[in-house]
Amino acid sequence: MIEPIRIAIIGTGLIVTGKHWPALQGLKRDFRVAALVNRTPAKATGLAEAIYAATRVRPPVYSDHREMLAREQPAAVSLALPTLLNPEVTEACLAAGCHVIAEKPIAASLTDGQPMLDWSERYGRILMIAENYRYKASYQRAAALIAAGAIGKPQVARWSLYASMGADNPYYHTAWRQQPAHPGGYLSDGGVHHMAVLRMLLGEAESVVAQSAALRPDLPPLDTLSATVRFAGDVLCSYAVTYASPGPETALQVTGTEGALLAWSDRVELWQRGKPLKTWAEPSAEDGLVAMYEDFARAVRSGQPPVSTAAEGLADLRLIVAMLRAAEMQKALRVADVT
């Protein structure tokens, strides 16, 4: 019988209690939570009790990740920290012999993220970026249909998103989001999700033009972005997002020479000759995090890279940073030149 992987969780905030732990709870054959780390240990008490209620084992709580690594020696670590801390803590965990899955974005800047591409090979451990959109069944279905030629050659894509962020949203009150160190604030924090999907479906971006705006002073430094991206093969994509105002969930639309795809977070529609041909219901357990952790377990046990590598995470960040810089500079930029 294969033993569960002993995984420690560093950072026990909203994303962990709301997403990571529910996903791990359903993967008891793959993972056992060995320890929790929060610089304010009292903030981890509720999670420790929830884990005890589910497993009858209460994980110890630490205030310092270095002490936890030395004492508990977990096989793997899940990081859910402010983005600025990702590189430092990731390397400490890898150097301690742990496999690491780190929340997106990979780093607060491309400069900070670039060295992380070599760390998996240097330390002989898996380094995975927790980009759950890469594991959502609807986007995987859409990518597979495009790859299979269901819409012919892709030509035009469009995605407009209303990701309103207000005081009723618990993430709004996160201190490091209110004073962001990562570029564009919410525009990159959430934007890397969207970039992962666009790259899954359309391939690598070549150039971008963009405009940005700050419509609400409580969402610094920017909250709205509109960009046009040219992907390889001359696919033109219009991407627009605002965190300043609410709106409906809209589909990512990709039109090709022989049809079109509409992809939502939980379903996909295939259109041909201007009419809907087939619809797939594609819900994702815990918003894709169950499949994400399953891939992490597979990678840890096999030694083979996960789907969401550090290179993928950095490429997601590079594309959204390219949009932000193109808007700031008011000129077209080649994505490969953005460093």
Residue 126 and residue 140 in one domain: no
Task: For residues 197-207, give the mean pLDDT.
Answer: 98
Q: Is pLDDT at 117 greater than 80 in this prediction?
A: yes
Spell out the residues 6+ positions from residue 18 whose beta carbon is closer than 8 angstroms to its own. none
Share of the chain above pLDDT 90, in %: 94
Whether residue 293 sits in one domain with residue 268? no
Q: What pLDDT does 175 receive? A: 85
Do 171 and 272 share a domain, yes or no?
yes
64 pLDDT higher than 90:
yes
- Helix (H) / strand (E) containing 110: helix 110-113
Domain that holds residue 297: 5-132+288-308
Least confident of 173-187, 228-242, 250-264, 298-312: 173-187
Q: What CATH number does residue 303 fall under?
A: 3.40.50.720
In the block, residue with structure tokens 């810089």: 325
Q: Are 186 and 239 in a shared domain? A: yes
**Which CATH number belongs to the domain containing residue 176 in this structure?**
3.30.360.10
Q: What is the 3-state secondary structure (H, E, C) of 243-292?
A: CCCCCCCCCEEEEECCEEEEECCCEEEEEECCEEEEEEECCCHHHHHHHH
Residue 149 Cα distances to 143, 171, 205, 257, angstroms: 10, 39, 20, 10
Which pLDDT does position 178 carry in this prediction?
87
Burial of 154 (0-12, 13-18, 19+ CB in 10 A): buried
Is residue 205 pLDDT above 80, yes or no?
Answer: yes
Q: 118 and 152: one domain?
A: no
333 DSSP β-pair partners:
208
pTM, 2 dp: 0.97
Here the tokens at position 108 are: 């607060």
Q: Where are the beta strands (DSSP E) in 91-223?
A: 99-103, 127-130, 154-162, 205-213
- Of residues 228, 208, 199, 226, the one with CA closest to residue 334: 208
What pLDDT sits at residue 269?
Answer: 98
Any idea which residue has 């793959």 for tokens? 30
Q: Are residues 188 and 332 in the same domain?
A: yes
Is 27 a residue whose pLDDT tops 80?
Answer: yes
At 10 the pLDDT is 98
For Cα atoms 176, 209, 331, give the angle at the middle one, nearest 5 degrees: 100
Same domain, 80 and 178: no
Q: Residues 310-322: what's their mean pLDDT?
A: 98
| 297 and 323 housed in the same domain | no
Mean pLDDT of the chain: 97
Query: What is the per-residue pLDDT for 58?
Result: 97
Which strands sit side by side in the sheet containing 205-213, from one edge to the other?
275-281, 267-272, 259-263, 252-256, 154-162, 235-242, 224-231, 205-213, 333-334
